[in-house]
Chains A and B, each alone.
Chain A
Amino acid sequence: MSTHQNDDELHHLLGAFVLGGLSGDEHRDFTRHLRHCETCQQESAQFSGLPSLLDLVDAEDAPAILTGVTGAAEFSDPVGPSSTPPALLDAVRAQRLRGRWRLVAAAAVLVVAAGGVGVALAPAISRLDEPPTSRIVARGPAGSATSVDIALVTRGWGTQVDLSGSDLPTSGVLYLEVTDLQGRSWDVASWSGTPSGRTTLTTACWVKAANIKMIQVHTREGQTVAAATT
């Protein structure tokens, strides 16, 4: 081993040993060092796969990649859309709404289940006074604070719908749409947005509560403001 190089210096030769470029003397010195240095042996084993990986990059392409100011992200990037494709964002919105409705539906089931326990434990008289009611919360798209509490009250003639919403659009006409299990839809109420964004109303529809699958608040243009499945 050359006397002018201590172990630290020899240790650092591992980089040039892996990449190539050591002189004959240095290569011999490092090979000797490697025989007794456990640290270098371990690191050398970790780096042993690098040359074959580096070989995957063509030496002629390498300068363009390695000297690129902005790095490989700009290197021979095939022409493609620079902004997010609308189809991708549409898919995200559709997926998100479905996911949200599933969540709301699960919450509604919990509310109904809790109500069921309450009915079972309550005195019989309260059951006579209070017609079966299920409550759901319709929410707006992610990022919107819109929240609409809806109570579906079973009546002999159909369903009474009590609605109490907050953070609704403050202008324009809003509609409450009921969709039944067969996928048929009806607007069962319409009203104008209020400056406070709050609205409380009661309306009615002939569809039995058990047959209501989805409730939506939408604008005149058909944009969904809040939605929930039962």
Chain B
Amino acid sequence: MAPLDEDVVAGIYREHAPALRRFIGRTSVDQSRVDDVVQEAIMRVWRQAPEVTSMRAYLFQTTRNILIDMHRAAGRRVVEVAEDRDDDSRSRIDPRATNPAVEIDRALDQILVEDALSRLQPDHREVVLALYYRRFTVVETAAALGIPAGTVKSRAYYAVRSLRAILDEMGVTQ
């Protein structure tokens, strides 16, 4: 028997809601609405029942679209208020209010990169951490991790490939 819809939705919520909440929390959306946005995104995805390779990527994109719609609605209100005043005040509108996609896309990319890093194999992750974030050399990394320098190089190579593949799967094409 197919799983109950409630079980499917509860499963999606359990697996993805924390990451979605983290994403929404980094945008300037009213933080009291974070849970509303998470629920709306999951409902939309459940209703559409898309055939996708990555449910997570689809959820993130859906959440992004909801956030942009919310910002646009808020932005329209700002413009309406501004139009009641003179032209001068309209020109002072925060550009993010009229182009919310910039801030939201940046928050989304940030979350997706964190997500991708967390999905790397642990021995690949520690090499990325040492080489990129700690700015260690290959030799320093080898000493810190107690592995040969050649192993650091090959792990760095496979870590970069995995990272690219995971980001591609999540729809990050940059």
Contacts and interface: CB of A to CB of B under 8 A. Distances in A.
10 contacts: A15-B153, A20-B132, A21-B137, A63-B129, A66-B117, A67-B129, A75-B22, A78-B34, A84-B13, A92-B5
* A interface, over-half SS: helix
Given A66-B128, A73-B19, A85-B35, A57 B6 contact: no
A10 to B, nearest CB: 10
Interface residues of B, number: 66
A84 B159 contact: no
Contacts of A54: 113, 128, 132-133
Nearest to A78: B25
A37 to B, nearest CB: 14
Contacts of B132: 19-20, 51, 54
A57 B155 CA distance: 21
* B interface, over-half SS: helix
Interface in A90-128: 91-93, 95-96
Contacts of A73: 18-19, 118
A50 B138 contact: no
Interface residues of A, number: 55
Nearest to B4: A143
B72 interface: no
A3 interface: no
Interface string A175-217: 0000000000000000000000000000000000000000000
